[in-house]
Structure 1
Amino acid sequence: MTADTSSAPTLESVAARAGVSRATAGRVLAGSPRVSEAARAAVLAAAAELSYVTNRAARSLVTRRSDSLAFVVSESEERVFADPFFPAVLRGAHKVMADHRLQLVFVVLSTEAEHDQFFRFAAGGHVDGAMFVSLHGDDPLPSRLRKVGIPVVLSGRPFRSDDDVPYVDADNLGGARTATRALLEAGCRRLATITGPLDMPAAQDRLEGFTQELRAAGQRPAASRTATGDFSTEGGFRAMKTLLRQRVHPDGVFVANDQMALGALRALHDAGLEVPRDVKVVGFDDSTLATVAYPPLTTVRQPMEQLGREMARVLTAIVAGDAVEPSVVLPTELVRRDTC
């Protein structure tokens, strides 16, 4: 038995019910400001009474918009689905988009071919703007999109200091200083750090914060106590193994994200070292991993959902033609548990 669609409401029936022209009804339902408040109220009431749903394809012909925004992560699928950071930021962005009745296009890009494919998709009018998370180095894709008129917002400051693309970031430098200070105040004197990939501004800023706090305490950062990771659990494990090969092992470690901190804790356990008695550890993120770590991880909380919300807020404002601030930096705070 097929559904009867003969009585499905149309734009003409909405216009007739509201007592306005078809063109006026179309402008109201497309969100145009060029209508009177009385006409707007009448059309919206008529659409609600008739259960009329706007044809998105037809609306896009009027507005030249897709009503879709892209959430783009430049990482491997393995990393995206293993790290709680990404779904937390995505959740925050989705909440704002849902409030604006916008569609979210979730994209994972890990190869040059995928970057080119997304550029063609976006430039073809399928999205009105893009949020970029976890960019590496001076990725040209955001600039390419802006050159063809597609608004872009970054998670984290741009790789180049002269890039004027809007961004939303956490206070990575200040959070790293707080983590390092906590280790110093806990009595650590042989501090080490496990960094993230240094082609990412967040990792650079967390390393800089660690270095600045050590210098403020009168200590000279030692190159032998800096190991580079890749923000993965295995990367943290390998980096901690490298630090433990030094003649004297560190008594405190600042790890640039929680996922690497879990790997570092495993390496310390394998080496027969007890946390926090022998080595104290502080992570960064305050993801769900911090509470299930053993021992539960002392870490720096960055507001991941808020980061997503702010990115979506800034991007929707740009798409609407509103003025926005060039950058938003969100505060971080230390969350004390059992590793420091």
Structure 2
Amino acid sequence: MATLKEISQRTGYSPATISRILTGDPALAVSDEARKRVLEEAGKLNYAATKSRRGRAPKHLLRLAVAEMLTPAEQLQDPFYLYLHDHVEQACVEQKYAFLPLERGETGFSLPEGDCGAAVAIGRFTPGQVASLERITPRLVFLNSSPDESRFDSVVLNYDLGIRLAVDYLLSLGHRRLGFIGPAWRLDDRREPAPEVRRASFIAQMERHGLYDPRFLIDTPMEARPTAEAVTAFLAAGGPLPTAFLTANEETALGAVRALSSAGLSIPCDISLLSFNDTPLSQLVVPPLTSISTHVEEMARAAVRLAGERVPTPGPVPARGLPVKLVVPPSLVVRESTGAPRPEAW
């Protein structure tokens, strides 16, 4: 697993600077290129395959097109999608598939040259974008969304299970005042506004236990810097505090770490923090984040595998015709950012 020291050796940045980059320190002037380098080196240290294997030129068994919801610059603000991209590319290397990035225009996607056997679409797309992808190839696999499970393969996460695991774990530690940090609304699988699924699931879980308190909800975009600002404002308001926060994703957790630490609050002694996604960044924060692992590597591999199953090949086994929706169960990874509440908080 990646460590701050290893990333420091690879990038030349000090461990303290890397920590400030990850938590979105507004006082640190850092370029997108610097942040990208830190994120990518963290990912590389967790890949099973080596760079030398990446450099080979295999005989490609399939030309696999890849469409992405976020631009490279946007992925720096939500590294979950950066790591999905990298793991899809690595899975293509393992399967000896050609990785063909699609170009995104104002009305949809296009393949720069040649054709492809199938496509993996990473993220959420409008109906118009989906139609443009279907014109490139009808063999589509959607990764982290499912716009039409009757027609297309998809690999999605069981968010409800992840939130239940998080809430049940915090309750088992003795917490009763739980808060949630993240947006109230987000785009759904068709990129239309809808209640954010993790927050909605958190509210439902807390209501089920009779412990829901709307005062402990912090509405913020899923990015580190605005989250730090929102948490700072919440603390400055002087209201009652929860004993633990669950965050919508890793970036909100990183922002919360910065705000809580700046306010002189200790994690987990004063407030426990539980994150969602568990990319390599969760291990680099101080303290390392207890997190709901979304298994991004397995999600990516599954999407590439489903794409390969739809392509006709020589041999007795026919290509799969029926679309499949694969729901990946998340799991809890316990680290140092969570603990029992102070005795007076019970």
TM-score by length of 1: 0.69
Report the alpha carbon displacement of residue 267 of structure 1 after superposing the two structures with TM: 0.7
Tell me if the contact between 2:62 and 2:308 (Cα under 8 Å) persists in the aligned partners: no
Q: Secondary structure at the match of 1:198?
A: strand
Q: Which residue of 1 aligns with 2:175?
A: 188
**Equivalent-residue separation in structure 2 for 1:71 and 1:177 (angstroms):** 32
Letter of the structure 2 residue corresponding to residue 132 of structure 1: A
Corresponding residue to 1:158 among 146, 149, 152: 146
Report the alpha carbon displacement of residue 265 of structure 1 after superposing the two structures with TM: 0.7
**Equivalent-residue separation in structure 2 for 1:221 and 1:87 (angstroms):** 34
Q: Deviations over 1:150-185 (max 9, x none)?
A: 3221122335x7874321012221111111222222
Q: Deviations over 1:111-160 (max 9, x none)?
A: xxx353x62437x7533332222226x4531233225643221122335x
Report the alpha carbon displacement of residue 80 of structure 1 after superposing the two structures with TM: 1.5
Q: Name the count of aligned residue pairs.
A: 269
Q: Which residue of 2 aligns with 1:121?
A: 111
Tell me if the contact between 1:129 and 1:151 (Cα under 8 Å) persists in the aligned partners: yes
Q: Secondary structure at the match of 2:111?
A: helix
Q: Which structure's residues are more often helix, by fraction?
A: 1
**Equivalent-residue separation in structure 1 for 2:203 and 2:103 (angstroms):** 33
Letter of the structure 2 residue corresponding to residue 328 of structure 1: L
Q: Which has the larger radius of gyration?
A: 1
After superposition, the Cα gap between the structure-2 partners of 1:241 and 1:71, relative to the gap in structure 1 and judged at 3 Å, is farther
Q: Deviations over 1:175-230 (max 9, x none)?
A: 111112222222333322122561146983322331222122112351x4333433
Q: Which residue of 1 aligns with 2:329?
A: 331
Q: Secondary structure at the match of 2:166?
A: helix
**Equivalent-residue separation in structure 1 for 2:229 and 2:131 (angstroms):** 35
Q: Which residue of 2 aligns with 1:37?
A: none
**Equivalent-residue separation in structure 1 for 2:102 and 2:256 (angstroms):** 30
Q: Which residue of 2 aligns with 1:280?
A: 272
**Equivalent-residue separation in structure 1 for 2:278 and 2:161 (angstroms):** 15
Letter of the structure 1 residue corresponding to residue 305 of structure 2: R
Report the alpha carbon displacement of residue 336 of structure 1 after superposing the two structures with TM: 0.8
Q: Which residue of 2 aligns with 1:248?
A: 240
Q: Which residue of 2 aligns with 1:230?
A: 221
Q: Secondary structure at the match of 1:178?
A: helix
Q: Counterparts in 2 of 1:261-272, with a 5 A limit?
A: 261-272=253-264
Q: Which residue of 1 aligns with 2:18?
A: none
Letter of the structure 1 residue corresponding to residue 168 of structure 2: R
Q: Which residue of 2 aligns with 1:75?
A: 70
**Equivalent-residue separation in structure 2 for 1:97 and 1:324 (angstroms):** 23
Tell me if the contact between 1:128 and 1:150 (Cα under 8 Å) persists in the aligned partners: no
Q: Which residue of 1 aligns with 2:92?
A: 97
Tell me if the contact between 2:310 and 2:320 (Cα under 8 Å) persists in the aligned partners: yes
Report the alpha carbon displacement of residue 331 of structure 1 after superposing the two structures with TM: 1.6
**Equivalent-residue separation in structure 2 for 1:230 and 1:130 (angstroms):** 30
Q: Deviations over 1:256-308 (max 9, x none)?
A: 11122011110111122111122111001111111111111111111111110
Report the alpha carbon displacement of residue 254 of structure 1 after superposing the two structures with TM: 0.6
Q: Secondary structure at the match of 2:187?
A: coil
**Equivalent-residue separation in structure 2 for 1:76 and 1:274 (angstroms):** 36
- Tell me if 1:178 matches 2:165: yes
Report the alpha carbon displacement of residue 326 of structure 1 after superposing the two structures with TM: 2.2
Q: Which residue of 1 aligns with 2:81?
A: 86
**Equivalent-residue separation in structure 2 for 1:108 and 1:255 (angstroms):** 33
Tell me if the contact between 2:123 and 2:145 (Cα under 8 Å) persists in the aligned partners: no
Identity among equivalent positions (%) equals 22
Corresponding residue to 2:119 among 109, 119, 130: 130
TM-score by length of 2: 0.68
Q: Secondary structure at the match of 1:180?
A: helix
Report the alpha carbon displacement of residue 107 of structure 1 after superposing the two structures with TM: 4.8
Tell me if the contact between 1:256 and 1:283 (Cα under 8 Å) persists in the aligned partners: yes
Q: Counterparts in 2 of 1:2-81, with a 5 A limit?
A: 67-81=62-76
Q: Which residue of 2 aligns with 1:295?
A: 287
Q: Secondary structure at the match of 1:126?
A: coil
**Equivalent-residue separation in structure 2 for 1:164 and 1:184 (angstroms):** 40
Tell me if the contact between 1:77 and 1:108 (Cα under 8 Å) persists in the aligned partners: no
Q: Which moved further from structure 2: 198-207 or 294-303?
A: 198-207
Tell me if the contact between 2:177 and 2:211 (Cα under 8 Å) persists in the aligned partners: no
